[in-house]
Amino acid sequence: MVALFVVDERPLSTAGPRRVQLLAAHLRELDARLRDAGGGLRVERGDPTVVVPRLAAELGVHTVRWNGDVSAYSQRRDRLVAHELERLGIGTEVHWGTLVHAPGSVVARSTGQVQRVFTPFSKVWSSTSPTPWPTGPVRVAAPPEDGIPVTLALGVTGDAATGLPAAGEVAAEERLAAWLERVDDYESSRDLPADDVGTSHLSADLRFGTVSPRHVLDVVGTGTPGRAAFVRQLAWRDWYAHLLAEQPRLAHAAMKPHFDEVAWRDDPEAFAAWCDGRTGYPIVDAGMRQLAATGWMHNRVRMITASFLVKDLLVDWRLGEAHFRRELLDAEVSQNAGNWQWVAGTGPDAAPYFRIFNPLTQARRFDPDGEYVRRWVPELAGLAGRRVHAPWELPPLDLEVAGVTLGADYPWPIVDHAEARERTLAAYAAAAPPARGG
């Protein structure tokens, strides 16, 4: 078997430098592992619909195997690759090791389609048997010498950026092992962003394929409430992937089409303040700064920051999706667009649009001591406990003692939440279809 990775410029162009560095580190690690097994990884850069068939023909391979992907672009690309290979008389095998179940294998019996509501999907998902693990070739051949060095193929220089998770399958397996010590507490720890180990941090491994969700499911099981709650998240992941595979337009269009008519505000300054963590809402700013500094953000805070962009600033969810897609180490079109649509109230099984997160209530509930905010917004570190969540409500003397001058050290809130909420409700209502019988 020859192992090949083709750097495809199209998806690469949507990734920020940190994710590209992590990809490079993973590829180097994979190459090292394959070399230990007597082989190596061949890296190429170019159009996969050209490179894969050309190399397959050159090397005289019988079958080309790869993992499928669900975005519109990937589906089209992979169909073209398969078509070209078949034309050359070379076999193809597509696997779905990046999901628990392959798209199309978990559908409503009545319609043959993926359910639009999560709970019925998850019931069928739980009772579906995974396809057996593939028993492919295990001997890895040394790749021909003329591939491209990973750094050159990806346009990265030097060693991996600091602060990235350790790369490769062995490191992923260690993260999974560490998580097994904590998973039973998942129900109580998963919504507290100050708890650094309250969730598994496996999302980037699942995204890059350094661990398969099927393996995670096998190892974790559903034996305790914590484990069952955790496995339910893997079902959400499959659900968003299956939905996108069936309806690729969901990456950029509202599932409920009338919500594409919302009159979003064009406000580059507000958007920049959100991206940079300068909105004056400490919980939002903490999340955006965690993202900028690490490439990861806690799920609860992803919901709060996304909701703030869409419902408080009334900025199109697609701008936020593109920013997250660039910055997140775990960014996947299916998961990102699915979750953004959930938050925006425009997608499948989404929160109704009129249920709007109050960032302050969320902050007080899920960061009760203000620890998470103080970690990421150090200019507010002098404000003890939950007082850190609303500096604008504090008496001037308290701010002075804490060394905070609003408007100088830390911004005033960019919007008034109550007013912003009314504005958003009106904009959504104008786009929503009239109530039945109304």
Q: Select the span of 201-209, 249-257, 259-267, 415-423 touching ligand FAD (CB under 6 A).
A: 201-209
Number of helices (H), then strands (E), in the chain: 20, 4
| 308 lines the binding site for ligand FAD (CB under 6 A) | no
What secondary structure letter does DSSP report for 403?
T
Q: How far apart are CA 334 and CA 315, in angstroms?
A: 21
Complex with ligand FAD: residue 115 or 200, whichever CB lies closer: 200
| 236 lines the binding site for ligand FAD (CB under 6 A) | yes
| 206 lines the binding site for ligand FAD (CB under 6 A) | yes
Determine which residue in the list 28, 302, 323, 374 makes contact with ligand FAD, applying CB under 6 A: 302
Beta bridge partners of 4: 42
Sign of CA dihedral 134, 137, 142, 147: negative
337 contacts: CB under 8 Å, gap ≥ 6: 240, 244, 250, 251, 252, 321, 347
Q: Select the span of 197-205, 282-290, 355-363, 385-393 touching ligand FAD (CB under 6 A).
A: 197-205
Determine which residue in the list 85, 220, 306, 383 makes contact with ligand FAD, applying CB under 6 A: 306
Task: Locate 306 and state its tokens.
Answer: 């996304």
Determine which residue in the list 28, 101, 190, 256 makes contact with ligand FAD, applying CB under 6 A: 190
Complex with ligand FAD: residue 40 or 248, whichever CB lies closer: 248
| 121 lines the binding site for ligand FAD (CB under 6 A) | no
| 254 lines the binding site for ligand FAD (CB under 6 A) | no
| 237 lines the binding site for ligand FAD (CB under 6 A) | yes
Q: Select the span of 104-112, 200-208, 271-279, 394-402 touching ligand FAD (CB under 6 A).
A: 200-208
| 250 lines the binding site for ligand FAD (CB under 6 A) | no
| 332 lines the binding site for ligand FAD (CB under 6 A) | yes
Tell which residue, 247, 229, 300, 240, has the closest CA to residue 100: 240
Determine which residue in the list 5, 308, 324, 353 makes contact with ligand FAD, applying CB under 6 A: 324
By CB under 6 A, what part of segment 334-393 binds ligand FAD?
335-336, 339-340, 343
| 203 lines the binding site for ligand FAD (CB under 6 A) | yes
Contact at 8 Å (CB) between 415 and 267? no
Alpha-helical (H) ranges within 38-137 are 48-59, 72-87, 118-127
Task: Locate 361 and state its tokens.
Answer: 């209530």
Q: How far apart are CA 438 and CA 427, in angstroms?
A: 19
Give kind and range of the element (H or E) at residue 64: strand 63-67
Determine which residue in the list 75, 105, 233, 247 makes contact with ligand FAD, applying CB under 6 A: 233
Q: How far apart are CA 391 and CA 399, in angstroms?
A: 7
